[in-house]
Structure formats: C-alpha cells, structure tokens
Chains A and B, each alone.
Chain A
Amino acid sequence: MRKPTPPSQELIKGIWRENPVLVQLLGLCPTLAVTNTVKNSLAMSAATTFVLIGSSLLVSSIKKLVPTEVRISTYILIIATFVTIADMVLEATVPDVHKELGAFVALIVVNCIILGRQEAFASKNSVGRSLLDAVGMSIGFTAALTVMGTVRELLGAGTFLGHSVFGPHYEPWVIMVLPPGGFFTLGCLLLVFSWVKRRSAARATTTAAPVAAREAA
C-alpha cells in the first residue's frame, strides 16, 4: 500500500502531472475526432465528464460486491449504461451537436480513460476520493480538448465558438479542421509539452511546473 495522499492531490494530479490526454496518451480517438470546433470539444468533454464521474461513483460504491473475475465486464456494463444515458440526453436536448458528434458519443464506452480510472483508482478507493479523481481527470480531459478545439477552429475557420476572430480578410487554413489537422495539432502540442517538461527538468527547481503551465497555456 502506498501512503495516503492529501485529497486535494487526487484532484490536481489529473489536471497537469497525470493529464489523461497529454501525459498518459489515453482517449486519443475523441481527442482527435471531435475537436474541429470548440463547441464540439465542449460537448464531448461534458459527455465524457458525466460518464466518468457517474461510473467512478458507482464503481467505488459497489467495489466490495463485485467479484474480481468479472470486474472488467461489470465496469464496461456500468460505463455503457452511463454512455447510453448521455447519448439519449444529448440527442434530446441538443440534436444538432449530437448529429455532429455522431458515433463518437457511443464510442465513449471504449475511451480508455474511463475504464482505466475504474480499474486503477475507483475500484480501490473510497467514494469521495474517486469523485475527486474523476473530477480532476475530467478537468484535464476538458482542458486538453478545449485547447485542441480552440487551436483548430481558430486556424481552420478563423472563428471561436462561431464568432469571427480574425475578421473577413482571414484566409481559413482549412486543413486544420480536417483529419490531418487533428494529428498535426496534437503532435505539436505533445512536442511543446515534452520540450517544456524537459526544460523544467533541466532547471530542476520545484517551482518550475506552475511556470511551465503558464507558458504552455
């Protein structure tokens, strides 16, 4: 058993140090597929947050009832149930967004972040800690998706949430909202991330991380 960490740490780790997308490289499918506009990124983040928090709460509260042999199947079933709810709610409330996200809402089921958190965290920790962990991971996921969505929409369409930013004379860099743009944006993001991390490691100061966070943002 490792030493119990302060609860605030469970919340913060998902945002930067163990960011699910940028550090753990999990859940890349939605990160690349639906981040062509900020609106889609936010909708996807909201759906994933709902599923992650819901499943973490449920898994951590029934962890003593689930036999070890069938735990993965149980988690998948729980996740699939929450995804179905999210899918139906999105379809009923914001049909146009649901249409644009298409199959990717249903694909939250196989998002490795969610199953990973159940297996690695919620199945071993108390309900409260699992909630903090899920919230932290969701914020990290949302942050990564929003950055991706902002970069791609700004460059690819010259807009932010549909509002024109660069004025009528901006020639849209269309490739950024198409599939290759997703790969390029995430690739550059990871390169910057790794460069910043390497530099702050070279400095080896304890205050480097927040400074780097500000520089990267």
Chain B
Amino acid sequence: MGNLIWIFVSAALVSNFTLALFLGLCPFLGVSGKVETGLRMGAANIFVMVLTALSVWVLNTFILTAAPYLRIIAFIIVIASLVQIVEMAIKKLSPALFRALGIYLPLITTNCAILGLAIFQTNRGYGLLEGLAFALGGGVGLTIALVLMASIRETLELADVPDFAQNMGLVLILAGALSLAFMGFAGLFSAA
C-alpha cells in the first residue's frame, strides 16, 4: 500500500508528467488559457489515462509477451481506439459531459502523456495496481500543472507585457518557473 501511495505522489508531484518529464505539453500550452477548460482537459486526461493503464496491463500480460517488437504499434492502436470508444460511450451516456469535453477528447489520442504513460509503465514493470496508481497520479499531476498555468495566464492577461513577449516564449519561461518550483518536491521522499 505504501508503495502505491509513493507511486501516486511521485507521478503527481515529484516527477510531474508535464513539468519534469515534458509529457503532454501540447494541451499544457494549447488549452491553458482558462482555468475552466484546463480542469476539463485534466479530467478527460485522468479518465483516459486510467483506462490506458488498464489496457496496457492486459496487453503486456497476455498478448505482447509473444511479440514484444509490436509494442509501439500495439500501444498506439489501442490508445486511438480507446479514445474513440470512450468518446462514443460518453456521447451516449452523458451528452452534457460530452459537450463539456468537446474537442479535447479526440485530441487526447496524440497527447504524448498517454503513450508516455504506457511506455513508462512497461519499462518500469508495473503490475495492475501499480499501473493504476501511476496513471491516476500522472493524470492528477497533469491537471495540477494545467490549472496552475491557466490561473497564471488569466492573471497575465491584465499585466502590461512588452509587445514582442506576447507569445509562447513568455509562457514557456513561466512554465520553467513552475517546473523549478516543482523540483522542490524532490525532497519529499528520501528514496526519491
């Protein structure tokens, strides 16, 4: 149990998916304009990541042992189909949630955080529970990063920024500052 908590906190804070591993930068830079959308994107990601962890475990345990060289291809196909199935299911079960997630749901397919999760999970040899804790932690970490960035950018809109800095450059430097702050979590565990 302690191990699971460690995996969760480590994925969410210490080696945050976005700020330390650079996974999921596209949504981080693309949809971090408003806190509201950031939260929704984060929620969609948590959902897909947990499902991915589950299917990756199934793939690794039962199927890919026979053909390890098909790993990358198998993962990307499973993720793409998974996102599509989730999209259809949500559309049927909860049209309100579907409208709220909107375009962000299909975009998750090309989000490197999902494929990254699958590959890290495999490389580190996580079992089912560990994989789920890792996915949950990673998703929560992604959401924290998104919401933090969105709140900074909402405030930034009122600030008087020089003309040439009104683009991604400034956002990236802010991300650097956030990343620096998250490095402080490295001391959270002596084992980390």
- CB contact list, A70-88 vs B, under 8 A: 73, 76-77, 80-81, 83-84, 87-88
The count of residues in chain B whose C-beta lies closer than 8 Å to any C-beta of chain A is 41
Are B176 and A194 interface neighbours, CB within 8 A?
Answer: no
User: Which partner residue on chain A sits nearest B69 by CB separation?
Assistant: A84
- Which secondary structure characterizes the binding site on chain A? helix
Report the bound CA distance from A110 to B108 in whole Å.
11
- Rounded to whole angstroms, the CA-CA distance of A191 and B23 in the bound complex is 23
List residues of chain A with CB within 8 A of the CB of B164: 191, 194-195, 198
Interface-side segment among A5-13, A59-67, A179-187, A209-217: A179-187
Which single member of A112, A180, A193 contacts B179 (CB below 8 Å)?
A180
Rounded to whole angstroms, the CA-CA distance of A184 and B19 in the bound complex is 12
Q: Which residues of B contact A182 (CB under 8 A)?
A: 22, 176
Q: Which residues of B contact A32 (CB under 8 A)?
A: 22, 25
A residues contacting the other copy or chain, number (CB 8 A): 41
Residues in chain A near residue B88, CB distance under 8 A: none
> A178-209, CB under 8 A of B: which get 1 and which 0?
11111110111111011100100000000000
B158 to chain A, nearest CB (A): 20
A84 touches B25 (CB 8 A): no
User: How close is B110's CB to chain A, nearest CB, in angstroms?
Assistant: 5
Residues 56 to 98 of chain B near chain A (Cβ within 8 Å): 69-73, 76-77, 80
Point out residues on B near A: beta carbons under 8 Å. 19-23, 25-26, 29, 69-73, 76-77, 80, 110-112, 115-116, 119-120, 123, 163-165, 167-177, 179-180, 183
A interface residues, Cβ below 8 angstroms from B = 25, 28-29, 32-33, 73, 76-77, 80-81, 83-84, 87-88, 102-103, 106-107, 109-112, 115, 175, 178-184, 186-191, 193-195, 198
Ranked 10 nearest A-B pairs via Cβ: A183-B176, A187-B172, A190-B169, A187-B173, A191-B169, A33-B22, A180-B179, A184-B176, A180-B180, A103-B119
